[in-house]
A and B are shown apart, each in its own frame.
Chain A
Amino acid sequence: MQRVIEFLLGLVFGVGLLVSGMTDPGKVQAFLDVGGAWDPSLALVMGGGVMVGLLGFTWAKNKNRSFSGSALQWPEMTQIDKPLVLGSLMFGTGWGLAGFCPGPALVAMAAGNDKAMVFVLTMMAGMVLFERFKTRDN
């Protein structure tokens, strides 16, 4: 039953990405293009998501366990360090270059977009590369 719920949550998330415009790199780049014809739509995606998220996570703060009885796995890392900032700066550069971030790229790939497919493959290659180098890096 839990797996069915998680499947449905993935579905809701994917439909949310499709409806929001995040799966369209043209729209993403129009949002990031403050120097040109700026389309502010995607600020509302983040706004809507965080608005609902705030309610959910604030509620969760008063709970000991999840509805399914498992532990609530709050992220433990709080430090602001070099990997966090450099990694995020690098991610943003790639995001701007093609207009894809990970979730929307997966959905666009599932919709049959060929460039999204190549993006996802190289993104996974990048993840594997990081795993190889991280011991040296940090």
Chain B
Amino acid sequence: MHIDWLHFTPWTSLLGGILLGISAAVLFLNSGRILGITGILEGVLAPKNADSTWRFAFLLGLFAAPLVAKFVLPAELIHAPRVDASWAMVIVAGLLVGYGTRWGAGCTSGHGICGLSRLSLRSLVATLSFMSTGFVTVFVIRHVL
């Protein structure tokens, strides 16, 4: 292992993380809801009651982010997506992420940010689990195959 200092972006990554934490904390304090993207998506795909409107509002805000960011932030602060994965890998990855996040009842936001912030052991186990296969998968596709 060697650290790629050239591409290391401690300040913008920390700033981004703080924004994620603010959003998650304020959503819970204001609306009483856990900010979990998979839970929000699930609630929108299968709305059970009128209670789901907050999820639509949140998703609309999420979708507006690239456009707003383009106008208010300097271009060098925004990370444009670079996708190495082939179309086939993207499709397989999507299926695994969709099925896995429902099965494990959460993703990087719900378990990772909210769960760890609540000091939930259950979310810590989930986070360590998805981090571990994330590391292993990238190791395999980059250094084994």
Q: A residues bordering B, Cβ < 8 Å?
A: 2-27, 29-30, 32-42, 44-57, 59-60, 63, 65-68, 70-75, 77-80, 83-103, 105-108, 110-113, 115-116, 118-131, 134, 137
- Select one of A59, A68, A97, A106 contacting B32, CB under 8 A: A68
Q: Are A48 and B62 in contact (CB under 8 A)?
A: no
CA A16 – CA B68 in complex, angstroms?
12
Q: Are A108 and B81 in contact (CB under 8 A)?
A: yes
Q: Are A126 and B64 in contact (CB under 8 A)?
A: no
Q: Is the interface of B mostly helix, strand, loop or mixed?
A: helix
CA A46 – CA B21 in complex, angstroms?
9
Q: Are B102 and A87 in contact (CB under 8 A)?
A: yes
- In the complex, per-residue mask of B72-87: 1 if CB is within 8 Å of any chain A CB, else 0: 0100011111111101
CB distance from A37 to the nearest CB of B (A): 4
A129 with B121, Cβ < 8 A, contacts A26-B82, A60-B29, A87-B104 known:
no
Besides A12-B22, A86-B103, 9 other CB < 8 A contacts?
A46-B113, A56-B24, A66-B28, A84-B126, A90-B96, A94-B94, A94-B95, A118-B90, A128-B45
CA A70 – CA B27 in complex, angstroms?
12
| Closest 3 pairs (CB-CB, A-B) | A56-B25, A126-B98, A20-B16
Q: Are A13 and B81 in contact (CB under 8 A)?
A: no
CA A119 – CA B20 in complex, angstroms?
22
Q: Are B13 and A45 in contact (CB under 8 A)?
A: yes
Point out which of B85, B100, B139 has the most chain A C-beta atoms below 10 A from its C-beta: B100
